[in-house]
Structure 1
């Protein structure tokens, strides 16, 4: 952003070129857009994401149910999962065959992942299902939804800021190329007479 400081320096400088001022104005415009447009875009995106996520929270609260499941027996682990050296750092949940009753009164039986350390027949744990008793993910909570919305807003603001900076660099790059092309044409015109007596050099 040195070109912004250059705006003041170049105001009445006799060596000032039109492109110097243009680069300064482009940089100043980009800075103002980053300071204003990026936060506005981030705020709007965050609010939109929060509204959509909070609607999902409300919908999931009405369509997902916490029910009790009963362990039938633990499913044997694969050789890789049974090896403590290979399983280090992996998911510590256990897979069990369990029975549960859905909110509509239907009985269900199937494999489920549970956080029980040593599941045994008859152990109880809670799971989430839909209204028909089919397994469902834990419903999103309001705090998590807000966190996701904030992250979406920050991400949008950063993306807009990067886009503005990239556009500024592209504009300045094109201006510099145009300046160099102008210099090349000027040198070509002066080249044949360069250094000759009486050529005005």
Structure 2
């Protein structure tokens, strides 16, 4: 197949050639613009998204505080029956808010945790239970992953649009060839027949 096509030439669409068509130049510029837009859109979207995710996770980290809560009633399950999967059960716990008011809530604890057993919990600014925030390392990994997904998604749009435009240009070029062939084809038939 390589022998049929000939050697590939770098930037052949812009070289001076009497056989070069205007459609070749347009296709070359469409490809160059598509590559540039794909690279630019992917990079910008990835960096902006990663930075936003990391900022949100840092804000979440700053808004939550670790507290020590105590189990109110014995947790269901056997004490020491912890499985290799790290099974945990729901139990009611009590903690004291910074303003001195007692608070209660449901959290996961080890099976069979005794009454009064200390449990680490995370609370928000209003002393309500909150999820454990992501560590800085977890936040960086999560931001990188989501940034990569955003970059891939943003880069797909100009890439797909350019592909569709190139398909339309190819169809237009083939239609022009058909028109030209229908005009010149009969002339060739008379000379060879």
TM-score between both structures, scaled by the size of structure 2 = 0.71
State how far apart, in whole Å, the 2-side matches of 1:109 and 1:19 are: 73
- Following TM superposition, by how much is the alpha carbon of 1:176 offset from its aligned partner in structure 2, in angstroms? 0.8
Long gaps (5+) in structure 2: 1-7
State how far apart, in whole Å, the 2-side matches of 1:25 and 1:74 are: 69
Long gaps (5+) in structure 1: 78-86
State how far apart, in whole Å, the 2-side matches of 1:196 and 1:130 are: 86
Work out whether residues 42 and 154 of structure 1, in 8 Å CA contact, stay in contact via their aligned partners in 2. Answer: yes
SS of residue paired to 1:74: coil
- Report Cα offsets for 1:34-63 as digits up to 9, x if no partner: 4445324433333344334433332x14xx
Q: 1:12 aligns with which of 13, 16, 22?
A: 16
SS of residue paired to 1:95: strand
- Report Cα offsets for 1:85-108 as digits up to 9, x if no partner: xx996x611222333333332334
State how far apart, in whole Å, the 1-side matches of 2:49 and 2:9 are: 33
Q: 2:88 aligns with which of 90, 93, 98?
A: 93
2:117 aligned with 1:123: yes
Equivalent residue, structure 2, for 1:24: 28
Give 1:30-179 correspondences, 5 Å limit: 30-58=34-62, 60-61=63-64, 64-75=65-76, 92-114=87-109, 116-179=110-173
Change in CA separation of 1:181 and 1:11 when aligned onto 2, cut-off 3 Å = same
State how far apart, in whole Å, the 1-side matches of 2:114 and 2:73 are: 7
- Report Cα offsets for 1:68-99 as digits up to 9, x if no partner: 2224122469xxxxxxxxx996x611222333
Mean Cα deviation higher: 165-174 or 141-150? 141-150
TM-score between both structures, scaled by the size of structure 1 = 0.68
Q: What is the count of residue pairs matched by the alignment?
A: 183
* Structural RMSD (CA): 3.5
State how far apart, in whole Å, the 2-side matches of 1:175 and 1:32 are: 19
Work out whether residues 13 and 28 of structure 2, in 8 Å CA contact, stay in contact via their aligned partners in 1. Answer: no
